[in-house]
Structure 1
Amino acid sequence: MEKKELLRKLPKMDELLKEDVVINRLDDTMRTLVVDSLRASIDEYRESILKDKINDFAKEDILSKFEEILEDSKEPNLKRVINATGVVIHTNLGRSILSKEAVENVIGVAANYNNLEYDLKKGERGSRYSHVEELIKKVTGAEAALVVNNNAAAVMLVLNTLCKDKEAIVSRGQLVEIGGSFRVPDVMTFSGASLVEVGTTNRTHLYDYENNINENTGVLLKVHTSNFKILGFTEDVSLEELVELGKDKSIPVIEDIGSGTLVDFSKYNFVYEPTVQESIRKGVDVVTFSGDKMLGGPQAGIIVGKKEFVNKMKKNQLTRALRIDKMTLAALEGTIKYYLDEKEAIEKIPTLHMILSSKDEHKKRAYSLKRKLQNKNKEFKFSVEEDYSMVGGGSMPIEKIPTYVIKVKSDKYKPEELEVMLRKNKVPIIVRVSNDEVIMDIRTMFDEDFNAVAETFSRF
């Protein structure tokens, strides 16, 4: 059938609205949703005709597609996906996975009334931050703690409190850009602090800080460049040197660690990353870090440090605008509790377990998934091979984690086509494509994902 004839064959909206299947849907669904789904179905067939993808169709085909689109429209936009990319802290896929206890805590406070701002012992109004402050202090060794909605907010609040209308001195090599094109200099400017860049991209000396200190200097700022590394001819000022300078000049030293590492990964044969506890021990006045990266909890910006400075932040009017809700507090408490015992943290916090679990553990899991896949589908070729996972989330950028992956080949589908099919599955499966193969990394997949993945391949 010719293209023009097919286009004329497309039914009109008024005609479709009289069909029984549509009338039945109108009984229990908003009319706007029904009409939009019908229009989307017609548009999809029109586009297929224009691209010569079909040479005929029936009205029933359009109605069937309409029902499919209508059902999809009722699905949540924010949904579970299976992460088979091998990137543990995947920014696009929600970053860190919460532990079971953290999830249970969230459900408990979300489904019931709770003591968010009520002191049960005193029977009077309390502070929402009290639920996690003592715990954070105990784990980090800090005098005081405060939590806001993300680390950019934490940095902004610290600078707005301690450095508004004053100068913040920072090394030029630490002016990083974080996700979504947000830049540390922009966050600093928005806080009301004036940025003073010292040193060069690859080399900064203590005298660079000293020579720029004046009566309007508010803070000395150090930003951990967790999302990139400068190698070669480099020099940086140590925390000890910066803290000593701050004490000598009576200027607070602020450190933005970013990823929020509470475990010394160098003990587990990983590259060294500074920990919050170490910064506090070295005398840094205020440290900021994220809750949903290396810490393995919910999105949050955590501020720890000297009581005199943190108390000022608690009184800042910005704190109310940046505060976290009951569910974030519940998830954060359920996560940080594990850090009282490092072994338990590594076992129970998914992010830490994924990073630190041995490749041999994932080898067994890879062969388990391969057996399920082969039993369900003979059209694909599945092989288990060694590869590398990544930490992700702007953390440990040069660290590669040995892992096992399943590589998929097909005579029926190109790798790019198979990637799209998996991504558009009811439970989306996000994979990576390399060297003309679809790759599924076992390290970032859960055992309970295996049946869903095998069932998906069986339908192709």
Structure 2
Amino acid sequence: MKEKQEYLRKIPAVNDLLATELVNELVDRYSHELVVAGIREVIDNLRERILEADLEKLQNEEIEIEIEQLLKQVKQFLINKSSSSLMPVINATGVIIHTNLGRSLLSKSAQKAVQRISSHYSTLEIDRESGKRGSRYSHVRDILTELTGAEDALVVNNNAAAVLLALSALAADKEVVIARGQLVEIGGSFRIPEVMEQSGAKLVEVGSTNKVYLKDYERAITEETGLLLKVHTSNYRVMGFTKEVELEDLSKLGAKYELPVVEDLGSGILVDSTLWGLSYEPTVQDSIGQGADVVTFSGDKMLGGPQAGIIVGNKKYLDKMKRHPLNRVVRVDKFTLAALEATLKEYRNSKRAYQEIPTLRMLNIPEDELKEKAATLMQNIREVISSDFNLAIRKDSSQIGGGAFPLEKLPTYVVELSHNNTGAEKIAEKLRLNTPPIFTRIYSNALLFDLRTIQDNELPELVAALKNITYGN
């Protein structure tokens, strides 16, 4: 301990560091308080490292005590402190709708709409003709009803909020009948029964896990029933010995007993998925056409827009939701509405939507284009990394993600990278700490860069990151 005290005495005082020219520059750029906090942080860390280190490390000068090195650490502390926590990343995982990475990318028209609205006052809640207060939902109501065939539309901040609002407005203190096999978990450990409990509705389960019949619903209907709820299992599939009641039949049952039928589509989609070679997924138009009174779905999944919970259906039921106090709690802001309106307008021309909405475009990239893109990336990487790295192109599969098409795999091409001496986890960590952060997937101690989700303009940044981190491995 005596020897360590000698090293502890070598640590510069806070005032010694404050007196340097570099710190004066940092104070001008940041603030005196923040610079002092940075110096104390660096000194505390150094003191802790000295106390924990063995003498051999100290004697070999593996722990830097020089003022110049400490100032570099202070500068890095200030850079990190001033950097945004929420930042753009390069998604090389191959998961198109990646929840942890922000789900869908916005189309260029949606980006421009957000930029335009963010730099001006807007017509968010004002009627231009009368000059009086208007409704923020009017900006997307007409186009949603046009695209879906519904009578009315409403937008809240996510699909869980949409379901909660529908249940609260239409079935508070009443029974909601739902098939036992549809009591799904919707992400983040939130489950449909918990959402129903918050709404004040009383859960009535019918059928078994794998089978439910129309008679099960009808037997459960009483004077206390508020609505019939159908939840589309978009994030998993029950295979084999199964039976589900068709929405059209459930809608007829609801009409017979004058009960609203609400369908939670989850991901939600406005175009025919079979055109891409995927399995059939019910569209919002299908649900409205089959008689659902209320349909809820997400804005930032298969739709390819901003985070939002979209509600379409019969006007008399949506009017109740609009008047409900919870609607104020879960309402959306002007940026969401601007991005959503621009996204929905792309759907007026389906061919244009496939080209302009990134989520749809990534679903439809031809295999030969992905292969060519992989070859270009591998060649560019090979030019900047050492011979200790191994590179290869191989065929693999991408995922759609976002709780949609859980069984579907999209053929893709990946660039596989491994190092003779350094594990894939270590390289992946360095890439995550890059600016911009780069997220990949790991298979058999190699990094896989899936070209399906890497944007063209991100390729040079990815190559530059590998060049910067690979030397010295």
Fold-level similarity (TM above 0.5): yes
Tell me, what secondary structure is at the counterpart of 2:408? Answer: strand
- What is the 5 A alignment of 1:31-430? 31-46=32-47, 49=50, 50=52, 55-57=62-64, 58-379=66-387, 380-430=389-439
In structure 1, C-alpha distance between the alignment counterparts of 2:297 and 2:359, rounded to whole Å: 16
**Unaligned segments of structure 2, at least 5 residues:** none
Cα deviations across residues 32-55 of structure 1 (Å, max 9, x unaligned)? 322332233334445655366762
In structure 2, C-alpha distance between the alignment counterparts of 1:61 and 1:158, rounded to whole Å: 59
Alpha-carbon offset, residue 383 of structure 1 = 1.5
1:458 is matched with which residue? 467
State the one-letter code of the partner of 2:409.
K
State the one-letter code of the partner of 2:183.
L
2:451 is matched with which residue? 442
Alpha-carbon offset, residue 413 of structure 1 = 2.3
Alpha-carbon offset, residue 56 of structure 1 = 3.6
In structure 2, C-alpha distance between the alignment counterparts of 1:87 and 1:254, rounded to whole Å: 30
More displaced stretch, 130-139 vs 17-26 = 17-26
Alpha-carbon offset, residue 335 of structure 1 = 0.4
Cα deviations across residues 250-289 of structure 1 (Å, max 9, x unaligned)? 1110000010111121222102111100000001000000
Cα deviations across residues 221-250 of structure 1 (Å, max 9, x unaligned)? 000111111112211111122111111111
Give aligned-pair identity as a percent: 49
In structure 1, C-alpha distance between the alignment counterparts of 2:344 and 2:7, rounded to whole Å: 62
More displaced stretch, 372-381 vs 163-172 = 372-381
Distance 1:416 1:43, change over 3 A: farther
1:10 aligns with 2:11: yes
Alpha-carbon offset, residue 24 of structure 1 = 3.0
In structure 1, C-alpha distance between the alignment counterparts of 2:130 and 2:152, rounded to whole Å: 22
In structure 1, C-alpha distance between the alignment counterparts of 2:47 and 2:448, rounded to whole Å: 35
More displaced stretch, 358-367 vs 413-422 = 358-367
* Contact 1:96–1:298 (8 Å) recurs in 2: yes
State the one-letter code of the partner of 1:149.
N
In structure 2, C-alpha distance between the alignment counterparts of 1:80 and 1:67, rounded to whole Å: 23
Cα deviations across residues 87-128 of structure 1 (Å, max 9, x unaligned)? 100000000000000000001011011111122233332211
Give the length in aligned residue pairs. 460
State the one-letter code of the partner of 2:418.
K
Cα deviations across residues 158-197 of structure 1 (Å, max 9, x unaligned)? 1111101111111111111122111111111111111111
Tell me, what secondary structure is at the counterpart of 2:395? Answer: strand
**Unaligned segments of structure 1, at least 5 residues:** none
State the one-letter code of the partner of 2:242.
T
* Contact 1:372–1:450 (8 Å) recurs in 2: no
More displaced stretch, 188-197 vs 41-50 = 41-50
In structure 1, C-alpha distance between the alignment counterparts of 2:445 and 2:4, rounded to whole Å: 35
Cα deviations across residues 367-425 of structure 1 (Å, max 9, x unaligned)? 12122212222343221111010011111111111001110011242111100000000
CA RMSD of aligned residues (A): 1.8
State the one-letter code of the partner of 2:467.
S
Tell me, what secondary structure is at the counterpart of 1:452? Answer: helix
Distance 1:222 1:8, change over 3 A: farther
In structure 2, C-alpha distance between the alignment counterparts of 1:47 and 1:430, rounded to whole Å: 32
State the one-letter code of the partner of 2:369.
E
More displaced stretch, 14-23 vs 395-404 = 14-23
In structure 2, C-alpha distance between the alignment counterparts of 1:3 and 1:433, rounded to whole Å: 42
* Contact 1:169–1:217 (8 Å) recurs in 2: yes
State the one-letter code of the partner of 2:464.
E
State the one-letter code of the partner of 1:361.
E
In structure 2, C-alpha distance between the alignment counterparts of 1:20 and 1:303, rounded to whole Å: 60
More displaced stretch, 237-246 vs 367-376 = 367-376
Tell me, what secondary structure is at the counterpart of 1:119? Answer: coil
In structure 1, C-alpha distance between the alignment counterparts of 2:206 and 2:401, rounded to whole Å: 29
Distance 1:411 1:133, change over 3 A: same
Alpha-carbon offset, residue 357 of structure 1 = 1.8
State the one-letter code of the partner of 2:444.
N
In structure 1, C-alpha distance between the alignment counterparts of 2:245 and 2:106, rounded to whole Å: 36
